[in-house]
Copies of this chain bind each other. A is one copy, B any other.
Amino acid sequence: MVLSPEQAAEIDRLRTETHQTLRPTVPALEELLFHPIPILDHGFVRVIDYMGDDGAVVQAARVSYGRGTKRVSEDKGLINYLIRHRHTTPFEMCEIKFHVKLPIFVARQWIRHRTANVNEYSARYSILDREFYLPAPENLAAQSDQNRQGRGEVLGGDEAARVLDLLREDAQRNYDHYLDMLNEGTDGKPADPGRSGLTRELARMNLTLNMYTQWYWKIDLHNLMHFIALRADPHAQFEIRVYADALSHVLDRWMPITAAACREHIIGGARLSATGLKLVKRLVKGEKVTQADSGLQPREWRELATLLGIDPA
Protein backbone atom coordinates (compact mmCIF):
# COMPACT_ATOMS: atom_id res chain seq x y z
CA MET A 1 0.00 0.00 0.00
CA VAL A 2 1.42 3.28 -1.11
CA LEU A 3 -0.53 5.67 1.10
CA SER A 4 -1.97 5.27 4.55
CA PRO A 5 -5.78 5.64 4.79
CA GLU A 6 -5.25 8.96 6.59
CA GLN A 7 -3.08 10.21 3.73
CA ALA A 8 -5.58 9.10 1.09
CA ALA A 9 -8.43 10.83 2.93
CA GLU A 10 -6.32 13.97 3.27
CA ILE A 11 -5.70 14.02 -0.46
CA ASP A 12 -9.39 13.64 -1.21
CA ARG A 13 -10.12 16.52 1.11
CA LEU A 14 -7.43 18.76 -0.38
CA ARG A 15 -8.64 18.10 -3.91
CA THR A 16 -12.07 19.55 -3.08
CA GLU A 17 -10.70 22.86 -1.82
CA THR A 18 -10.54 25.10 -4.83
CA HIS A 19 -9.24 28.64 -4.50
CA GLN A 20 -9.26 31.72 -6.72
CA THR A 21 -5.84 33.02 -7.65
CA LEU A 22 -4.26 35.58 -9.95
CA ARG A 23 -1.06 33.54 -10.13
CA PRO A 24 0.03 31.62 -13.23
CA THR A 25 -1.82 28.31 -13.11
CA VAL A 26 -1.29 25.11 -15.10
CA PRO A 27 -4.52 23.08 -15.44
CA ALA A 28 -2.70 19.94 -16.60
CA LEU A 29 -0.65 19.96 -13.43
CA GLU A 30 -3.60 20.86 -11.19
CA GLU A 31 -5.19 17.57 -12.31
CA LEU A 32 -2.22 15.71 -10.95
CA LEU A 33 -1.84 17.73 -7.75
CA PHE A 34 -1.53 15.67 -4.53
CA HIS A 35 -2.10 12.34 -6.34
CA PRO A 36 0.71 9.82 -5.80
CA ILE A 37 2.55 8.39 -8.80
CA PRO A 38 3.46 4.85 -7.62
CA ILE A 39 7.14 3.89 -7.89
CA LEU A 40 8.87 0.60 -7.00
CA ASP A 41 6.97 -1.55 -4.48
CA HIS A 42 6.02 1.06 -1.86
CA GLY A 43 7.33 4.39 -3.11
CA PHE A 44 5.72 7.37 -4.75
CA VAL A 45 6.19 10.91 -6.01
CA ARG A 46 3.40 13.44 -5.68
CA VAL A 47 3.29 17.15 -6.46
CA ILE A 48 2.36 19.29 -3.44
CA ASP A 49 2.73 22.78 -4.86
CA TYR A 50 4.28 24.68 -7.75
CA MET A 51 5.11 28.23 -8.80
CA GLY A 52 5.30 29.41 -12.40
CA ASP A 53 4.74 28.06 -15.88
CA ASP A 54 6.45 28.27 -19.29
CA GLY A 55 5.30 31.89 -19.50
CA ALA A 56 7.08 32.75 -16.24
CA VAL A 57 10.39 31.65 -17.76
CA VAL A 58 9.80 33.91 -20.73
CA GLN A 59 8.72 36.78 -18.48
CA ALA A 60 11.91 36.54 -16.40
CA ALA A 61 14.09 36.37 -19.51
CA ARG A 62 12.36 39.44 -20.93
CA VAL A 63 13.28 41.41 -17.82
CA SER A 64 16.93 40.71 -18.56
CA TYR A 65 16.71 41.44 -22.24
CA GLY A 66 14.33 44.37 -21.78
CA ARG A 67 12.96 46.31 -24.69
CA GLY A 68 15.89 45.30 -26.78
CA THR A 69 14.53 41.90 -27.61
CA LYS A 70 10.90 42.42 -28.45
CA ARG A 71 11.71 40.86 -31.80
CA VAL A 72 12.15 37.46 -30.20
CA SER A 73 8.43 37.12 -30.24
CA GLU A 74 7.94 33.45 -29.84
CA ASP A 75 8.07 31.83 -26.42
CA LYS A 76 9.21 28.49 -27.75
CA GLY A 77 12.07 30.02 -29.69
CA LEU A 78 13.16 32.05 -26.68
CA ILE A 79 13.06 29.06 -24.30
CA ASN A 80 15.12 26.97 -26.71
CA TYR A 81 17.57 29.83 -27.13
CA LEU A 82 17.97 30.20 -23.35
CA ILE A 83 18.65 26.51 -22.87
CA ARG A 84 21.04 26.24 -25.81
CA HIS A 85 23.06 29.18 -24.59
CA ARG A 86 23.13 28.15 -20.94
CA HIS A 87 21.14 31.17 -19.70
CA THR A 88 19.94 29.33 -16.65
CA THR A 89 18.59 32.10 -14.41
CA PRO A 90 15.11 32.40 -15.97
CA PHE A 91 14.56 28.71 -15.20
CA GLU A 92 15.44 29.32 -11.57
CA MET A 93 12.34 31.53 -11.32
CA CYS A 94 9.97 28.53 -11.10
CA GLU A 95 9.67 26.09 -8.21
CA ILE A 96 7.98 22.79 -7.55
CA LYS A 97 7.47 20.88 -4.31
CA PHE A 98 7.17 17.10 -4.12
CA HIS A 99 6.33 14.56 -1.47
CA VAL A 100 8.54 11.53 -2.14
CA LYS A 101 8.64 8.09 -0.53
CA LEU A 102 11.83 6.21 -1.32
CA PRO A 103 14.26 3.57 0.03
CA ILE A 104 17.01 4.97 2.25
CA PHE A 105 19.81 3.87 -0.09
CA VAL A 106 18.13 5.85 -2.89
CA ALA A 107 17.64 8.81 -0.55
CA ARG A 108 21.37 8.79 0.14
CA GLN A 109 22.14 9.33 -3.57
CA TRP A 110 19.33 11.83 -4.04
CA ILE A 111 20.37 14.10 -1.17
CA ARG A 112 23.71 14.76 -2.86
CA HIS A 113 21.87 17.31 -5.00
CA ARG A 114 22.36 20.22 -2.64
CA THR A 115 20.47 22.94 -4.45
CA ALA A 116 17.09 21.82 -3.18
CA ASN A 117 15.16 22.04 0.09
CA VAL A 118 14.31 18.98 2.11
CA ASN A 119 12.22 18.03 5.12
CA GLU A 120 12.68 14.35 5.86
CA TYR A 121 10.62 12.16 8.16
CA SER A 122 12.84 11.76 11.21
CA ALA A 123 13.34 8.36 12.81
CA ARG A 124 14.83 10.28 15.71
CA TYR A 125 11.37 11.59 16.57
CA SER A 126 9.04 9.01 15.10
CA ILE A 127 8.81 5.28 14.41
CA LEU A 128 9.29 4.13 10.84
CA ASP A 129 6.69 1.92 9.17
CA ARG A 130 7.40 -1.71 8.29
CA GLU A 131 8.06 -1.00 4.62
CA PHE A 132 11.16 -2.01 2.76
CA TYR A 133 12.12 -2.33 -0.87
CA LEU A 134 12.44 -5.74 -2.52
CA PRO A 135 13.47 -5.67 -6.19
CA ALA A 136 11.27 -7.34 -8.74
CA PRO A 137 13.03 -10.53 -9.95
CA GLU A 138 13.73 -9.02 -13.38
CA ASN A 139 15.74 -6.28 -11.70
CA LEU A 140 17.99 -8.61 -9.73
CA ALA A 141 21.12 -8.28 -11.80
CA ALA A 142 24.63 -9.62 -11.41
CA GLN A 143 27.61 -7.32 -11.21
CA SER A 144 28.80 -6.28 -14.66
CA ASP A 145 32.15 -7.69 -15.70
CA GLN A 146 32.96 -4.61 -17.76
CA ASN A 147 31.79 -1.82 -15.59
CA ARG A 148 32.08 -1.32 -11.85
CA GLN A 149 28.97 0.82 -11.77
CA GLY A 150 26.92 -1.35 -14.05
CA ARG A 151 24.65 -4.36 -13.94
CA GLY A 152 25.19 -7.51 -15.90
CA GLU A 153 22.92 -10.51 -16.53
CA VAL A 154 19.71 -10.96 -14.56
CA LEU A 155 20.02 -13.68 -11.92
CA GLY A 156 18.42 -17.01 -12.66
CA GLY A 157 15.22 -18.09 -10.95
CA ASP A 158 16.73 -20.04 -8.07
CA GLU A 159 19.46 -17.53 -7.42
CA ALA A 160 16.98 -14.68 -7.53
CA ALA A 161 14.66 -16.46 -5.12
CA ARG A 162 17.54 -17.05 -2.74
CA VAL A 163 18.59 -13.39 -2.81
CA LEU A 164 15.03 -12.21 -2.28
CA ASP A 165 14.64 -14.54 0.69
CA LEU A 166 17.77 -13.15 2.29
CA LEU A 167 16.74 -9.54 1.70
CA ARG A 168 13.21 -10.12 2.98
CA GLU A 169 14.16 -12.11 6.05
CA ASP A 170 16.94 -9.76 7.10
CA ALA A 171 14.83 -6.63 6.68
CA GLN A 172 11.91 -8.20 8.56
CA ARG A 173 14.03 -9.54 11.40
CA ASN A 174 15.86 -6.25 11.81
CA TYR A 175 12.59 -4.36 11.83
CA ASP A 176 11.12 -6.76 14.42
CA HIS A 177 14.17 -6.25 16.61
CA TYR A 178 13.87 -2.49 16.11
CA LEU A 179 10.32 -2.60 17.50
CA ASP A 180 11.43 -4.97 20.23
CA MET A 181 14.21 -2.62 21.35
CA LEU A 182 11.83 0.37 21.22
CA ASN A 183 9.33 -1.54 23.38
CA GLU A 184 6.59 1.02 22.67
CA GLY A 185 2.98 -0.09 22.87
CA THR A 186 0.26 1.52 20.83
CA ASP A 187 -1.06 3.21 23.97
CA GLY A 188 2.20 5.04 24.56
CA LYS A 189 3.14 2.68 27.39
CA PRO A 190 5.86 0.02 27.19
CA ALA A 191 4.76 -3.05 25.24
CA ASP A 192 6.61 -5.13 27.78
CA PRO A 193 6.20 -3.31 31.12
CA GLY A 194 9.05 -5.28 32.62
CA ARG A 195 11.77 -3.37 30.80
CA SER A 196 12.75 0.02 29.37
CA GLY A 197 12.73 0.81 25.66
CA LEU A 198 15.78 1.96 23.80
CA THR A 199 15.61 5.58 22.63
CA ARG A 200 14.40 5.99 19.05
CA GLU A 201 17.52 7.81 17.88
CA LEU A 202 19.55 4.68 18.72
CA ALA A 203 17.12 1.91 17.83
CA ARG A 204 16.90 3.10 14.22
CA MET A 205 20.51 2.06 13.61
CA ASN A 206 19.35 -1.56 13.40
CA LEU A 207 17.28 -0.89 10.27
CA THR A 208 18.43 -1.87 6.80
CA LEU A 209 19.15 0.50 3.94
CA ASN A 210 16.16 -0.72 1.94
CA MET A 211 13.67 0.68 4.48
CA TYR A 212 11.45 3.41 3.06
CA THR A 213 11.73 6.98 4.23
CA GLN A 214 9.85 10.03 2.95
CA TRP A 215 10.43 13.71 2.52
CA TYR A 216 9.18 16.95 1.11
CA TRP A 217 11.56 18.09 -1.60
CA LYS A 218 11.43 21.49 -3.25
CA ILE A 219 13.57 22.46 -6.22
CA ASP A 220 13.70 25.13 -8.89
CA LEU A 221 13.13 24.30 -12.55
CA HIS A 222 16.77 24.67 -13.57
CA ASN A 223 17.97 22.25 -10.92
CA LEU A 224 15.07 19.89 -11.59
CA MET A 225 16.21 19.57 -15.20
CA HIS A 226 19.77 18.98 -14.02
CA PHE A 227 18.56 16.28 -11.59
CA ILE A 228 16.55 14.56 -14.31
CA ALA A 229 19.46 14.73 -16.78
CA LEU A 230 21.79 13.04 -14.30
CA ARG A 231 19.36 10.54 -12.78
CA ALA A 232 17.22 9.55 -15.77
CA ASP A 233 20.50 8.72 -17.52
CA PRO A 234 21.15 5.05 -18.41
CA HIS A 235 24.24 5.12 -16.15
CA ALA A 236 22.13 5.96 -13.09
CA GLN A 237 21.02 3.12 -10.84
CA PHE A 238 17.64 1.71 -11.84
CA GLU A 239 16.12 2.44 -8.44
CA ILE A 240 16.70 6.21 -8.70
CA ARG A 241 16.04 6.31 -12.45
CA VAL A 242 12.42 5.33 -11.97
CA TYR A 243 11.99 8.36 -9.70
CA ALA A 244 13.69 10.62 -12.24
CA ASP A 245 11.35 9.25 -14.91
CA ALA A 246 8.36 10.20 -12.76
CA LEU A 247 9.76 13.71 -12.26
CA SER A 248 10.22 13.93 -16.02
CA HIS A 249 6.57 12.97 -16.52
CA VAL A 250 5.54 15.74 -14.11
CA LEU A 251 7.76 18.22 -15.97
CA ASP A 252 5.97 17.38 -19.22
CA ARG A 253 2.64 18.33 -17.68
CA TRP A 254 3.91 21.39 -15.88
CA MET A 255 6.08 22.97 -18.59
CA PRO A 256 5.48 21.40 -22.00
CA ILE A 257 7.72 23.85 -23.91
CA THR A 258 10.58 23.76 -21.44
CA ALA A 259 10.34 19.98 -21.12
CA ALA A 260 10.68 19.58 -24.89
CA ALA A 261 13.65 21.96 -24.97
CA CYS A 262 15.22 20.02 -22.11
CA ARG A 263 14.94 16.75 -24.06
CA GLU A 264 16.37 18.38 -27.16
CA HIS A 265 19.29 20.22 -25.57
CA ILE A 266 20.03 18.83 -22.09
CA ILE A 267 18.98 15.17 -21.96
CA GLY A 268 19.27 14.29 -25.63
CA GLY A 269 22.23 14.93 -27.88
CA ALA A 270 25.78 14.73 -26.62
CA ARG A 271 28.89 16.69 -25.79
CA LEU A 272 31.88 16.44 -28.09
CA SER A 273 35.35 17.04 -26.71
CA ALA A 274 37.75 19.32 -28.58
CA THR A 275 39.38 16.26 -30.14
CA GLY A 276 36.01 14.66 -30.78
CA LEU A 277 34.82 17.72 -32.65
CA LYS A 278 37.94 17.69 -34.84
CA LEU A 279 37.30 14.04 -35.69
CA VAL A 280 33.67 14.70 -36.53
CA LYS A 281 34.75 17.44 -38.92
CA ARG A 282 37.08 14.99 -40.64
CA LEU A 283 34.40 12.32 -40.82
CA VAL A 284 31.86 14.76 -42.22
CA LYS A 285 34.37 15.62 -44.95
CA GLY A 286 34.47 11.91 -45.81
CA GLU A 287 37.91 11.23 -44.35
CA LYS A 288 38.72 7.86 -42.86
CA VAL A 289 39.59 7.93 -39.15
CA THR A 290 40.96 5.12 -37.02
CA GLN A 291 41.60 4.96 -33.30
CA ALA A 292 45.31 4.92 -34.01
CA ASP A 293 45.25 8.34 -35.66
CA SER A 294 42.32 9.75 -33.67
CA GLY A 295 44.26 11.10 -30.71
CA LEU A 296 41.76 9.37 -28.43
CA GLN A 297 42.25 6.59 -25.94
CA PRO A 298 40.66 3.29 -27.07
CA ARG A 299 37.80 3.70 -24.62
CA GLU A 300 37.09 7.27 -25.73
CA TRP A 301 37.26 6.19 -29.36
CA ARG A 302 34.74 3.39 -28.80
CA GLU A 303 32.39 5.82 -27.05
CA LEU A 304 32.61 8.27 -29.95
CA ALA A 305 32.09 5.55 -32.56
CA THR A 306 29.00 4.32 -30.69
CA LEU A 307 27.68 7.86 -30.46
CA LEU A 308 28.10 8.46 -34.19
CA GLY A 309 26.90 5.02 -35.23
CA ILE A 310 30.13 4.11 -37.02
CA ASP A 311 32.32 1.01 -36.91
CA PRO A 312 35.13 1.53 -34.38
CA ALA A 313 37.41 -0.96 -36.10
A residues at B contact (CB < 8 Å): 14-15, 17-25, 30, 33-34, 49-52, 56, 59-61, 63-69, 77, 84-86, 89-90, 92-93, 95, 97, 99, 103-105, 108, 111-112, 114-115, 117-122, 124-127, 133, 135, 139-144, 148-153, 155-156, 159, 163, 166-167, 170-171, 173-174, 177, 180-182, 184, 195-202, 204-210, 214-216, 218, 220, 230, 235, 237, 263-265, 267-277, 280-281, 283-286, 297, 300, 307-310
Contact = CB atoms under 8 A, between A and B. Distances in A.
A53 B303 CA distance: 29
Q: Which one of A68, A104, A184, A267 has the highest number of Cβ atoms from chain B below 10 Å of its Cβ?
A: A68
Contact of A49 (B51, B61, B205): B51
A97 B105 contact: no
Contacts of A61: 119
A150 B124 CA distance: 9
Given A51-B51, A159-B195, A208-B208, A270 B272 contact: yes
A160 to B, nearest CB: 9
Q: How many copies does the complex hold?
A: 4
18 contacts: A15-B22, A21-B21, A84-B300, A93-B117, A93-B218, A111-B112, A133-B205, A141-B199, A142-B199, A151-B199, A152-B196, A159-B195, A207-B208, A263-B274, A264-B274, A271-B271, A283-B283, A284-B309
Given A84-B273, A144-B199, A286-B286, A237 B19 contact: no
B264 A268 contact: no
Given A93-B119, A196-B142, A274 B269 contact: yes
B274 A271 contact: no
- The secondary-structure label for the interface of chain A is mixed
A277 B271 CA distance: 10
A53 to B, nearest CB: 10
A23 to B, nearest CB: 5
A171 B89 CA distance: 30
A86 B235 CA distance: 12
A200 B65 CA distance: 12
Most buried by B among A34, A103, A280: A280
Nearest to A220: B117
A60 B22 contact: no
A133 to B, nearest CB: 7
A143 B115 CA distance: 34
A14 to B, nearest CB: 7
Interface centre among A22, A33, A85 (most CB of B within 10 A): A22
